[in-house]
A and B are shown apart, each in its own frame.
Chain A
Amino acid sequence: MADTAVHDAVAEHDDHGHATSTGLSNNKLAMWLFLGSECLLFGGLISTYMLYRGRHTANLGPDQVWDIPFTSASSFVLLMSSLTMVLAVTAAKRKDDRNTNLWLTVTAILGSLFVAGQVYEFTSFYREGLGYTTSLFSSSFYTLTGFHGVHVSIGVIMLLATVGMILKNRIPGDKAEVVELVGLYWHFVDIVWILIFTLVYLIPA
């Protein structure tokens, strides 16, 4: 019989609270759903790259253009931004606005540094002759890392906007939750880079 098959999980439903059936926040659930969906987006881009990574013009393959030390450094920067992000989240949970803002700002700076590194990397590849349309390898590389870069940039904007809104006290609802949501997004962008760094840069062609 259906009715007893699953334990009734609905939380007490008070009249004026934000109670939800599961007791979980709508926003956080939505964010995780969005990240689940993003897995298929980046999966598609990574697969395209994996399929086409070997298809390039004679002297402009991964082995020729990569600058591993530089990329390692910028990967390190992004990884550390995950740390500062998590520090912002814990600060927000302590309702410590000052430190929240501090760490959010540091995270945004690290993120911008990463994007700047990517811009530098792209231009130096470009100077070596690797344009967007040079080869399948270059198109799929720029598309994948470009999408990631756009995600980081959006993240930076979100971080700064959050800082601004905390300063002006314009956040509707739960401040700590907003910081946490931005954090989830930010970490996701970081884990995508963890994949990209290894799969794209470190595995030899």
Chain B
Amino acid sequence: MSTETAHATEHDEANHDHWSDLSYVRLALALALITAIEVAISYKVDELGAVFLPLLLGLMLVKFFSVVLFFMHLKFDNRLFSLMFYLGLGLAVAVYAAMLFTFRFFGS
């Protein structure tokens, strides 16, 4: 873990943090649109076949990270905050995915 970024903080914030309210509104509308698409494709499971799940999960991740990066400012904020959050997120995904995986190998 490095704290080298500390000095840069003030500077960075000054540059990017002022997303205008309008851009936030635009992002929110985009997210609403993605949600609509998600719902729509959930009615087309059979048509989409193998594409369905990756597509749906992809859209979910786009929404997820949009909120994290922009609404929660993680993109512009100090790297230390990202580290704290992604450490937890990454561990959670890795560990629980592995756990669910073990249930599949069960048998002798």
Using a CB–CB cutoff of 8 Å, the interface residues on chain A facing chain B are: 6-7, 9, 11, 21-24, 28-29, 32-33, 35-40, 42-44, 46-47, 50-51, 68-69, 72, 75-76, 79-80, 82-83, 85-87, 90, 93, 183-184, 187-188, 190-191, 194-195, 197-199, 201-204
Cβ 8 A contact of B7, one of A9, A32, A44: A9
In the assembled complex, which residues on chain A have CB atoms less than 8 Å from the CB atom of B17? Answer: 93
Using a CB–CB cutoff of 8 Å, the interface residues on chain B facing chain A are: 2-4, 6-7, 9-10, 17, 19, 21, 24-25, 27-28, 31-32, 35-36, 38-39, 42-43, 45, 53, 56-57, 59-60, 63-64, 67-68, 71-72, 78, 80-81, 84-89, 91-93, 95-96, 99-100, 103
Known: A72-B39, A198-B57. 9 other contacts (CB 8 A): A11-B7, A24-B6, A43-B96, A47-B99, A72-B35, A87-B21, A187-B71, A191-B67, A201-B42
- Nearest CB in chain B to that of A21: its residue: B3
Q: Evaluate contact between B42 and A36: CB separation under 8 angstroms.
A: no
- Nearest CB in chain A to that of B67: its residue: A191
Cα separation A68 to B100 with both chains bound (whole Å)? 26
Main secondary structure of the interface of A (DSSP, over half): helix
Q: Evaluate contact between B85 and A202: CB separation under 8 angstroms.
A: no
Q: Evaluate contact between A7 and B28: CB separation under 8 angstroms.
A: no
Cβ 8 A contact of A44, one of B21, B24, B43, B96: B96
Q: Evaluate contact between B88 and A35: CB separation under 8 angstroms.
A: yes
In the assembled complex, which residues on chain B have CB atoms less than 8 Å from the CB atom of A198? Answer: 38, 56-57, 59-60
Cα separation A50 to B92 with both chains bound (whole Å)? 14
